Amino acid sequence: MPFPLTPALTADCVVFDERGYVLLIRRKNDPFKGSYALPGGFVDVGERVEDACRRELREETGLKVGALRLIGVYSDPYRDPRGHTCSIAYLARVGRAAVTAGDDAAAAEWVADWRAETLAFDHALIIADAERLLEGA
**Which domain, by its residues, includes 47?**
8-135
Q: CATH number, domain at 93? A: 3.90.79.10
Tens-level pLDDT at each residue, the chain (137 residues)? 888 899 999 999 999 999 999 999 999 999 999 999 999 999 999 999 999 999 999 999 999 999 999 999 999 999 999 999 999 999 999 998 999 999 889 999 999 999 999 999 999 999 999 999 999 86
pLDDT tens-digit map of 41-51: 999 999 999 99
Q: What does each C-alpha distance from 126 to 4, 22, 45, 73, 100 come to in angstroms?
A: 28, 12, 24, 9, 23
Q: Could you tell me which of 73, 22, 76, 1 has the C-alpha nearest to residue 43?
A: 73
Question: Would 19 be classed as within a structural domain?
Answer: yes
**Per the domain annotation, does 91 fall within a domain?**
yes
95 in any annotated domain:
yes
Q: What is the pLDDT of residues 49-62, one digit of tens each?
A: 999 999 999 999 99
Bridge-based pairing of strands 69-74 and 8-16 is unpaired
Q: CB neighbours of 20 closer than 8 A, spacing ≥ 6? A: 112
SS3 letters across the chain:
CCCCCCCEEEEEEEEECCCCCEEEEEECCCCCCCCEECCEEECCCCCCHHHHHHHHHHHHHCCCCCCCEEEEEECCCCCCCCCCEEEEEEEEECCCCCCCCCCCEEEEEEECCHHHCCECCCHHHHHHHHHHHHHCC
User: What pTM was computed for the model?
Assistant: 0.95
Does some domain include residue 1?
A: no
Domain assignment present for 3: no
Is 33 contained in some domain? yes
Q: Tally the domains of the chain.
A: 1
- CB of 58 within 8 A of CB of 66? no
